[in-house]
């Protein structure tokens, strides 16, 4: 049987079927076991119920018998109604129990004789009771037949109970046997199911795979034997089929590669020759030349020669270029190193210069501040000089006023002197008058003396007048002296006033000179203030300029520092570039070139390592 199912699918399907079958078998077995168990339980329960009913009936029959005795006894002694009622109840209970026994399947077989006996006993007991209750002598026949009927009932009920127990035991045994059989049947069914499953697996899974593997192995064995023509026939669309197809393709390829022995040998020989010719290249010898033959390696040799020629040219160029790079780098490096140290030096100088200029700026700023202070001091001096000049002017004015005042006073004093002169003349006149008065008084006193007693009173008056005249003369003399003194003093004052006036005029002149000097000072102060202001302005301008220079210097020094750092970086880059060039040189140096192509690069080419 050929199947196109893949192994994977096949295994999957088989597993599915097996699982289904197993599930089916398990459920069937479970069902049968449970069925058997149910039957068993029902049988056992029925047998037990029959046995129990039979036993219960036995007990009820005994109760009936005992109640019958009591009822009979009561009938003989007292009344029968109450006991008879109890007897009837016991009879009904026995009847009911018997009905239950009849209801069981097994009880139906044993119940009829019991029913008959019970009915018989009831009949006999009724007869006996009637006789006993009538108070007549009970016929022994009746008594014995009643007793017999009860005994029969009792015996039969005991037998029925024993029989029911026997039946129950027998049912149990039968059911045990039945259960054992069912288990055996289930086990057998499961075993058969497994056998069927194994068969299925073998049929669906193992057989087709084994068949395909067998084909593959056959081909492989053929290959082992050297038979390259063996192929896998019609490979299926399965995994092993795919292997078969690959094997077929591989074999086809291999077949196409296989050449005839002679052809192969010849080719090998010419290849060996070619290899020998060009083996020098592996050691870097680019001077080799392969012989161009007519066979198939000829073309290879031709290509090889062309390639070597190109390689020679390229390597030669590389060697030249790297040599030149090395040389240029050497120069460049020394230049850069010089430049870097120069830049560093320059940066250091710029820093020094910027610090110095910074200090200069501070100094100029300080001078400028001081100049500002000086300018204000000069201004103050100028103001003071101005004040001074004004004060001097005021002084001169004051002096002028004094001079005028003095001259006015002198005039007045002079007038005073003139007035004194007039006073002196008046005093003189008064003196004359007094003198004349005195003479007149003398004459009058003489006249009075001549008149005698009559002139005595007149003489007193004349004396008085004389005394007055004397006093007037005296006063006039004093006045004259005073006037003379006044005149002298006035003359002195006049002279002093004249001196003062001269002095005042002199002082005024000096003050004038001071005024002029102060005005000059004012002028000089003004000039000074202007000059200092100019200095201050200039210093401020310088300060601004030096700030600017300081700033520029700072910027320059930072730029220079950067430059120095960059130059260093460049030097380092050149160094590493040099290393690369050296490496390149070393790597192409092992190639051997014909002499005219390139000069050999010296292995001692100076290495470029940036010193900093």
Partner 1 sequence: MTMGGNAAQDARIGRPRREDISLQDWCSLFLNRCGLTFRNAQVPALMQLIDQHMRARGLADAAAYYALLCDERDSGVEWSELLEGVLNHETSFFRHQASFDVLKNIVLPDLLAERAKGAFLSLWSAGCSTGQEAYSLAMIAMAHEELGGRFTVWGSDVSRRVIETARRGCYGPRALTGLAAAYRNRFLHEKRTETGVEYEVVPELRERVRFMSINLLSAADFSPRHDVIFCHNVLIYFAPEAVTRLLNALATRLRPGGYLLLGPGEGPGDHPKGLEPIHVSGVRGFRRTLQTAREPRP
102, 154, 295, 369: which one binds partner 1 (CB under 8 A): 369
- Please tell me the distance from the alpha carbon of residue 31 to that of residue 186, in angstroms, as a whole number: 10
Q: Which listed residue (26, 356, 429, 449) binds partner 1 by CB under 8 A?
A: 356
Single residue of 370, 409, 500, 526 touching partner 1 by CB under 8 A: 370
CA atoms within 13 A on the CB side of 31: 7
CA distance 498 to 9: 164
Min dist CB 286 to partner 1, Å, is: 49
Q: Which of 551, 556, 558, 609 binds partner 1 (CB under 8 A)?
A: 551
CB of 340 to partner 1, least distance (A): 14
CA 146 to CA 155: how far, in whole Å? 14
Query: Which residue of 151, 349, 383, 419 would you call a contact of partner 1, by CB under 8 A?
Result: 349
By C-beta, is 271 or 355 nearer to partner 1?
355
User: Rule CB under 8 A: is residue 359 a binding residue for partner 1?
Assistant: yes
Task: Count the helices and strands in the chain (H runs, E runs).
Answer: 9, 0
Report if residue 324 touches partner 1, rule: CB under 8 A: no
- The piece of 79-87, 234-242, 297-305, 539-547 that touches partner 1 (CB under 8 A) is 539-547
CB 589 within 8 A of CB 603: yes
CA–centroid distance for 11 within its chain: 57
Minimum CB separation of residue 529 from partner 1 in Å reads 15
Stretch that binds partner 1, among 304-312, 356-364, 556-564, 566-574 (CB under 8 A): 356-364
- Least distance to partner 1, CB of residue 550, Å: 8
d(CA 440, CA 448): 12
Q: Is 363 in the site for partner 1 (CB under 8 A)?
A: yes
Residue 136, Ramachandran bin (φ over 0: left; ψ between -120 and 50: alpha; else beta) = beta
Give the nearest distance from C-beta 310 to partner 1 in angstroms.
53
Q: Is 329 in the site for partner 1 (CB under 8 A)?
A: no
Candidate residues 373, 426, 429, 586; the one interacting with partner 1 per rule CB under 8 A: 373
For the bound state, the minimum distance from the C-beta of residue 369 to partner 1, rounded and expressed in Å, comes to 7
Q: Please choose, out of 116-124, 311-319, 348-356, 427-435, the segment that lies near partner 1 by the rule CB under 8 A.
A: 348-356
In the complex with partner 1, the residue whose CB is nearer, 94 or 543, is: 543
Scan for tokens 């062309």, then name that residue: 306
Q: For residue 285, give the 3-state DSSP assignment.
A: strand
Count how many Cα atoms sit within 13 Å of the Cα of residue 414 in the half-sphere of its side chain: 10
CA distance 420 to 484: 8
Do the beta carbons of residue 266 and residue 248 sit within 8 Å? no
* Residue 388, φ and ψ in degrees, nearest 5: -60, -50
Residue 59 or 561 with smaller CB distance to partner 1: 561
Phi, psi of 285 (to 5 degrees): -85, 105
Q: Out of 51, 64, 367, 593, which residue is the one contacting partner 1 (CB under 8 A)? A: 367
**Can residue 59 be called a binding residue for partner 1 (CB under 8 A)?**
no
Tokens of 166: 């026997």
- In the complex, the smallest distance separating the C-beta of residue 525 from partner 1, rounded to whole angstroms, is 16
Query: Closest distance between partner 1 and the C-beta of residue 518, in Å?
Result: 24
Among 547, 561, 565, 580, binds partner 1 (CB under 8 A): 547
Smallest distance from the beta carbon of 357 to partner 1, in angstroms?
9
535 binds partner 1 (CB under 8 A): no
Residue 379 within binding range of partner 1, rule CB under 8 A: no
End-to-end CA distance of the chain: 88
CA distance 178 to 315: 106
Q: Using the CB atoms, write b or e for 424-458: b if 16+ within 10 Å.
A: beebeebbeebeebbeebeebbeebeeeeeebeee
| Residue 370 vs 533, nearer CB to partner 1 | 370
- The answer to whether 60 and 93 are in contact (CB under 8 A) is yes
Q: Determine if 362 is a binding residue for partner 1 (CB under 8 A).
A: yes
Under DSSP, is residue 481 helix (H, G, I), strand (E, B) or coil? helix
Q: Which is nearer to partner 1, 237 or 359 (CB)?
A: 359
CA distance 392 to 386: 10
Q: Which stretch binds partner 1 (CB under 8 A): 419-427, 467-475, 543-551, 581-589?
A: 543-551
Q: Given the rule CB under 8 A, which residues bind partner 1?
A: 348-349, 352, 355-356, 358-359, 361-363, 365-367, 369-370, 373-374, 377, 543-544, 547, 550-551
């Amino acid at each position: 049987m050929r199947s196109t199912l893949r192994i994977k699918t096949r295994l999957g399907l088989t597993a599915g079927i097996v699982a289904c079958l197993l599930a089916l078998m398990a459920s069937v077995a479970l069902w049968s076991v449970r069925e058997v168990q149910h039957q068993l339980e029902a049988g056992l329960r029925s047998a037990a119920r029959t046995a129990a009913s039979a036993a219960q009936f036995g007990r009820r029959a005994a109760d009936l018998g005992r109640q019958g005795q009591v009822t009979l006894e009561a009938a003989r002694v007292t009344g029968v109604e109450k006991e008879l009622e109890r007897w009837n109840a016991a009879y009904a209970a026995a009847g009911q129990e018997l009905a239950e026994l009849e209801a069981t399947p097994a009880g139906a077989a044993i119940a009829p004789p019991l029913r008959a006996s019970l009915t018989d006993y009831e009949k006999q007991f009724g007869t006996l009771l009637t006789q006993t209750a009538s108070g007549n002598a009970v016929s022994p026949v009746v008594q014995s037949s009643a007793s017999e009927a009860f005994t029969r009932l009792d015996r039969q009920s005991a037998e029925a109970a024993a029989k029911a127990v026997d039946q129950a035991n027998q049912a149990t045994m039968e059911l045990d046997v039945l259960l054992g059989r069912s288990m055996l049947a289930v086990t057998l069914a499961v075993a058969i199911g497994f056998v069927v499953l194994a068969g299925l697996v073998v049929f669906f899974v193992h057989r087709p795979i084994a068949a395909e593997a067998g084909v593959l192995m056959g081909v492989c064995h053929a290959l082992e034997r050297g038979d390259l023509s063996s192929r896998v026939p019609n490979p299926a669309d399965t995994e092993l089929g795919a292997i078969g197809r690959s094997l077929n393709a591989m074999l086809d390829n291999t077949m196409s590669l296989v050449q005839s022995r002679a052809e192969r040998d010849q080719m090998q020989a010419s290849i060996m020759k070619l290899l020998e010719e060009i083996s020098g290249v592996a050691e870097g010898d680019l001077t080799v030349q392969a012989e161009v033959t007519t066979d198939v390696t000829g073309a290879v040799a031709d290509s090889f020669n062309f390639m070597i020629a190109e390689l020679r040219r390229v390597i030669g160029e590389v060697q030249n270029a790297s040599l030149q790079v090395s040389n240029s780098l050497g120069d460049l490096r020394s230049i850069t190193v010089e430049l870097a140290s120069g830049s560093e030096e320059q940066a250091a100088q710029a820093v020094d210069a910027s610090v110095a200029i910074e200090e200069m700026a501070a100094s100029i700023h300080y001078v400028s501040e001081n100049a500002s202070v000086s300018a204000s001091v000069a201004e103050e001096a100028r103001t003071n000089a101005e004040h001074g000049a004004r004060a001097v002017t005021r002084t001169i004015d004051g002096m002028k006023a004094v001079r005028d005042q003095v001259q006015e006073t002198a005039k007045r004093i002079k007038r005073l002197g003139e007035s004194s002169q007039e006073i002196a003349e008046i005093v003189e006149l008064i003196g004359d008058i007094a003198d004349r008065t005195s003479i007149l008084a003398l004459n009058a006193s003489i006249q009075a003396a001549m008149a005698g007693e009559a002139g005595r009173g007149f003489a007193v008056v004349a004396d008085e007048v004389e005394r007055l005249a004397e006093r007037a003369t005296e006063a006039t003399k004093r006045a004259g002296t005073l006037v003379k003194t006044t005149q002298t003093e006035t003359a002195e004052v006049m002279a002093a006033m004249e001196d003062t006036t001269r002095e005042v005029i002199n002082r005024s002149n000096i003050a004038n000179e001071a005024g002029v000097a102060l005005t000059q000072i004012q002028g000089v102060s003004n000039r000074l203030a202007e000059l200092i202001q100019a200095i201050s302005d200039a210093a401020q301008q310088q300060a601004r300029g030096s700030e600017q220079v300081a700033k520029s210097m700072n910027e320059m020094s930072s730029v220079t520092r950067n430059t120095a750092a960059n130059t260093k970086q460049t030097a380092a880059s050149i160094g590493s570039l040099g290393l690369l060039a050296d490496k390149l040189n070393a790597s192409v140096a092992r190639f051997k070139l014909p002499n005219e192509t390139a000069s050999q690069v010296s292995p001692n080419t100076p290495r470029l390592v940036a010193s900093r």
